[in-house]
Structure 1
């Protein structure tokens, strides 16, 4: 899957969870969705892409999920 598709998908997931008023629950929801439904390769590709493009536009909930100690890997 292309990086562009991964970014589009993860940002859509984050927009869905952005409706949650509790920020911690929203971040947890994004992280858990990625862990539950993305393949290990997709998660690795997302992490690698984010490391190479730290200034790229990712939804704030995605950034928070990636920064959590448990991460998404």
Structure 2
């Protein structure tokens, strides 16, 4: 899957959870969705892309979810 597709999907997930007033719950929602519905390869690819493009277009909730080690497992 292309990095552009992963970014778009991740940002869409984050947009869904952005209405959650509790930031921690929103981040956990993004993280859990990615763990439940994305393959490990998809998560690794997005994390690798973010590492090489730190100033890129990922939603802040996605960035917060990626910083937690649980999303890569």
Output the TM-score relative to the length of structure 1. Answer: 0.94
Q: Provide the C-alpha distance between the structure 1 equivalents of 2:40 and 2:24, rounded to a whole number of angstroms.
A: 24
Moved over 3 A (4+): none
1:1-73 matches, cutoff 5 A: 1-70=1-70, 72-73=71-72
Q: In the comparison of the two structures, how many residue pairs are matched?
A: 72
User: Any gaps of 5 or more consecutive residues in structure 1?
Assistant: none
**Structure holding more helix per residue:** 2
Aligned partners of 1:2 and 1:33: how far apart in 2?
A: 19
Rounded to whole Å, the distance in 2 between the matches of 1:67 and 1:39 is: 18
